[in-house]
Chains A and B, each alone.
Chain A
């Protein structure tokens, strides 16, 4: 769920941003949230946390980052960095790592943080229903720990990023509950939850854990995270000093930019707007199995105009789905399908689809495609006589429906990781969560097997990228920016999130 939450977050964030774009006693040090005295950092969060069950912290997962420490932190490209593990090595074949667990740390229940505690967590994690570490074998020897996968996984390092570790007692307590959930967060992170000052779903309050090994990186004595689901409520709270920072939406960006005492951090292009033509074989809609049709669809979108007009300059044209600077990204790639409606129509005619066809596109309220993209996409596809049939999705089944294969060409704005292997897995491989038709492709399988074997990984990632471009599996449109509004009393130099969606907790100075 956490992974879904992060992905779905991309969705939500995407929409939020892309577009064209007191009683001040709520914090301990008075007006302005107290940041100037490094007393209290008060953050707004546009969605509630998904509970305290440990997993990779979800989108805006500051509460989890506060109470839990992780085996490794990761840099912006998803490379593990020291944390609970102060030294470590990953095997070159992506099957195992050996780490020395930092000594002298304790969980908030007083239990020692050691290799056995980390093993307890990894063993528990490996058998969870949604685990991506299934089959992981962990052994310990003193303060050292070795974890081994049953087979090579090129994403192993990425999967280990932000694996947060709760106390073994918390795991044992959770296992006794019916739903195996963690009612309380017992971790060894830089902060400890103040349960008395916390209202689940509304306000989470934390006090600093002075014994944390990297305490200096977290300068605030107190952390308060408020759930403000309404964009309007969030910007109002920011402007009146009730909070020190929040993600901004298209509706609130300009308001934050013009407000005195506020700064806006631009998170450059963490999302790519795209149509995902996942029915490459034309099993659901035969026309989509035709390369000329897929190329034609690519050619009716004026990416420069989209970035400039539709997104009001808060985006840059995208000719490939991968994040600039990531391994799969092909630098200097020219637009492979320049905007040319006449040529697109000719391609449709050549393919025998001059009269077009109908394509159902799922729509989720506040999802990644509604307000801004869908009208434009509908209009442009109509130029090829392709009729968009909007299908509203809601309720608990909406994401299952969205990704269940009923809709062979979703329109979505998705995040692109600094580690492009993650994107390949999610969007390109047959098993990919967003490759909703899960159709096999021998070329992709062949290149991926080379990546799994560790053969010239970067080159092969780019080969997959080039192949998807040649096959027109996607219709990338723009790299849309994210924005984070914050009080000028809080310093944020940038985001170290490898998804680039938000500042991490340690980015607040």
Chain B
């Protein structure tokens, strides 16, 4: 188990280096454009060239990347080319917003999709058909459409929730809950739709296996069969789906943050990439890759806990 864990960690570090290097490479070579954007179009060519040197954008790719990586290892993610704000400070205010959205959506996705998936698989018939129909419907409607409908109904018309903005839980817990409720629901619909149908299939598959029939023949209560035996065996595919949903949610948060004007990482990614603000882009990419790797690692560990065979993988 320990060896497997070390291997997974080594792979994660490899992925981290590859993704960050590829990202850095994609932005490489834009030095004059970035410098001109920083200085303004009135700047002379000589000014631009000086700025390129000052920002270190004249250095070879490996030197620039090495410098960035060295900074990361010492806890220095650099400063924004445009605002001078430390990248770590910018991320510190953005990460909680995005994590609030993603984690709460994920937890609710786990609870509700398991509930719906198991219900559909166990009861079958019209219950199954309704759940499957809703899953298809939920997956088909883009989250931003759901967001717009929610804003219209619950923010503009009924005035129950705020239409925009984010309140930190430090400022007001109630305010925090109300500020993320609509964004979470907008993300949740698609997320549940994707996960519930997968869990339903996995549970239905396990329910049809011989050992379940044997358990029933031995008179084991149905509830115990489902929650102890079936869910454990259906958990593997479910975990994979939830791992993928996390990545989907981080991507979906970009749009939702824009619609609700939430100051999260999605908005920061969009702006910094447009501007060519290399330190900020790299900071955001680093955090997102770390989140994805951690989720995958946790997913693997949970899978190993459920399935002894997976511990040797």
Is A395 within 8 A of B165, CB to CB? no
Whole-angstrom distance between the alpha carbons of A199 and B97 in the complex? 11
B261 touches A130 (CB 8 A): no
The contact string, 1 if C-beta is below 8 Å from chain B, for chain A 190-233, is 00000000011111000000000000000000000011111011
Give Cα A348–Cα B156 distance, bound, in whole angstroms. Answer: 55
Among listed B28-36, B219-227, B240-248, interface-contacting one: B28-36
Chain A minimum-CB-distance residue to B258: A230
Is the CB of B24 closer than 8 A to any CB of chain A?
no
Q: B163 touching A242 by the CB < 8 A rule? A: yes
B90 with A200: CB separation less than 8 A: yes
A405 on interface, CB distance cutoff 8 Å: no
In the complex, what distance in Å separates the CA atom of A23 from the CA atom of B162? 5
Contacting pair B263 A129 (CB below 8 A) = no
CB of B164 within 8 A of CB of A233, answer: yes
Residue contact A433 to B41, C-beta cutoff 8 Å: yes
Residue of chain B at shortest CB distance from A197: B171
Contact mask for chain A residues 1-37; partner B; CB cutoff 8 A; 1 contact, 0 none: 1111101000000000000001111100000000000
List residues of chain B with CB within 8 A of the CB of A181.
Answer: 79, 83-84
CA gap between A232 and B42 in the complex, in Å: 33
With A1-B39, A179-B81, A399-B41 already in contact, the answer to whether A201 and B268 are too (CB < 8 A) is yes
Asked whether any CB of chain A lies closer than 8 Å to the CB of B82, the reply is yes
- Determine whether the beta carbon of B39 is less than 8 Å from that of A396: no
B156 touches A236 (CB 8 A): yes
Partner of B39, one of A129, A174, A226: A129
Given contacts A23-B178, A179-B55, are A199 and B93 in contact (CB under 8 A)? Answer: yes
C-alpha spacing A239/B163, complex, angstroms: 9
Q: A26 to B40, Cβ gap below 8 A?
A: no
Q: A399 and B175 in contact (CB under 8 A), knowing A130-B47, A229-B267, A236-B156?
A: no
Q: How far does the alpha carbon of A1 sit from the alpha carbon of B51 in the complex, in Å?
A: 13
A240 at the interface (CB under 8 A from B): yes
A229 in contact with B261 (CB, 8 Å): yes
B139 interfacial contact with A, CB 8 Å: no
User: Does B68 have its Cβ within 8 Å of any Cβ on chain A?
Assistant: no
Contact between B93 and A51, CB atoms less than 8 A apart:
no
Chain B residues, CB < 8 A from A183: 84-86
CB-defined interface of B2-44 with A at 8 Å, one 1/0 digit per residue?
Answer: 0000000000000000000000000000101110111111111
Shortest distance in angstroms between A225's beta carbon and chain B's nearest beta carbon? 13
Choice from B159, B165, B178 contacting A226 with Cβ under 8 Å: B165
- A397: Cβ under 8 A from any B Cβ: yes
CB-contact partner of A200 in B32, B83, B159, B179, under 8 A = B83
Most buried by B among A1, A53, A396: A396
Q: Is A237 an interface residue (CB 8 A)?
A: yes
Q: Which residues of A contact B267 (CB under 8 A)?
A: 201, 229
C-alpha spacing A132/B41, complex, angstroms: 12
| Chain B 155-188 near chain A by CB (<8 Å), digits 1 or 0 | 1100101111111000010010011000000000
- Inter-chain contact B261/A397, CB cutoff 8 Å: no
Q: Mark B241-284, 1 if CB is under 8 A from A, else 0.
A: 00000000000000000111101000110010111100000000
Query: Across the interface, do A23 and B93 meet the contact criterion of CB distance under 8 Å?
Result: no
Please determine whether A395 and B33 come into contact, CB atoms closer than 8 angstroms. Answer: yes
**Contact: B51 with A129, CB < 8 Å?**
yes
Neighbour of A237 across the interface among B30, B165, B276, CB < 8 A: B165
Closest-CB distance, A123 to chain B (whole angstroms): 18
Check A22/B159 contact, CB under 8 A, given A3-B40, A181-B79, A232-B148: yes
Cβ proximity bits A395-438 to B, threshold 8 Å, 1 near / 0 not:
11101100100000000000000000000000000000100000
Contacts of A129 in B (CB 8 A): 39, 43-44, 47-48, 50-51
Q: In the complex, what's the smallest C-beta–C-beta distance from A226 to chain B, in angstroms?
A: 7
Is B106 an interface residue when CB atoms closer than 8 A count as contact?
no
B151 adjacent to A236 (CB under 8 Å):
yes
Residue A233 contacts which of B79, B163, B276 (CB distance < 8 angstroms)? B163
Report which of A1, A2, A22, A396 forms a contact with B276, defined as CB distance below 8 A.
A396
- Whether, in the assembled complex, B218 has its beta carbon less than 8 Å from a beta carbon of chain A, the answer is no
Residues of A within 8 A of B165 (CB): 26, 203, 226, 237, 242
Which residues in A have their C-beta under 8 angstroms from that of B275?
Answer: 396
| Most chain B CB within a 10 A radius of its CB, from A129, A226, A403 | A129
Chain A 450-473 interface residues, beta-carbon cutoff 8 Å to B: none
A50-B82 contact given A229-B258, A240-B162, A395-B274, CB 8 Å threshold: yes
Once the chains bind, are B79 and A178 in contact (CB under 8 Å)?
Answer: yes
Q: How far is the CA of A53 from the CA of B39 in the complex (A)?
A: 11
Contacts of A203 in B (CB 8 A): 165, 263
Residues of A within 8 A of B37 (CB): 1, 396-397, 399-400
**Would you call A228 and B42 a contact (CB within 8 A)?**
no
B309 within 8 A of A: no
Cross-chain contact A242 with B42 (CB below 8 angstroms): no
Chain B residue numbers with a CB within 8 Å of A48 are: 271
Given A202-B93, A237-B163, A240-B156, the answer on whether A23 and B175 have CB atoms closer than 8 Å is: yes
Contact: A233 with B258, CB < 8 Å?
yes
> For residue A226, which residues in chain B have a CB less than 8 angstroms away from its CB?
164-165, 261
Q: A230–B159 contact, CB under 8 A? A: no
Q: How far is the CB of A440 from chain B (nearest CB, A)?
A: 18
Cβ of B235 to closest chain A Cβ, rounded Å: 39
Asked if A92 lies at the interface with its beta carbon under 8 angstroms from chain B, I say: no
Please report which residues of chain A, range 34-53, place their CB below 8 angstroms from some CB of chain B when the two chains form the complex.
48, 50-53
Given A232-B148, A236-B164, also A178-B54 (CB < 8 A): yes
**A177 within 8 Å of B by Cβ?**
yes
How far in angstroms is the closest Cβ of chain B from A389? 22
Chain B, residues 39-64, CB within 8 Å of chain A (1/0): the string is 11111100110110011000000000
Query: Are A177 and B155 also in contact (CB < 8 A) when A22-B163, A201-B271, A227-B261 are?
Result: no
Q: Are B261 and A53 in contact (CB under 8 A)?
A: no
Please indicate the chain A residues that have their CB under 8 angstroms from the CB of B179 in the complex: 23
Please tell me if the beta carbons of B93 and A177 are within 8 angstroms of each other in the complex.
Answer: no
A237 to chain B, nearest CB (A): 5
- B33 touches which of A130, A229, A233, A396 (Cβ 8 Å): A396
A357 within 8 A of B: no
- Is A394 on the interface with B (CB-CB < 8 A)? yes
Residue among A132, A177, A233, A399 having the largest count of chain B Cβ atoms under 10 Å: A233
Q: What are the 5 A-B residue pairs with the smallest beta carbon separation, nearest first? A: A181-B84, A396-B276, A202-B263, A397-B33, A51-B83
- What are 13 A-to-B residue pairs whose CB atoms are below 8 Å? A23-B161, A51-B84, A129-B39, A129-B43, A130-B42, A183-B84, A199-B93, A201-B263, A201-B271, A227-B263, A240-B163, A242-B164, A395-B30
Question: Other than the known A48-B271, A129-B44, A201-B268, what 12 A-B pairs have Cβ atoms closer than 8 Å?
Answer: A4-B41, A25-B175, A26-B165, A53-B84, A201-B90, A228-B164, A230-B259, A232-B148, A233-B163, A240-B162, A395-B274, A400-B32
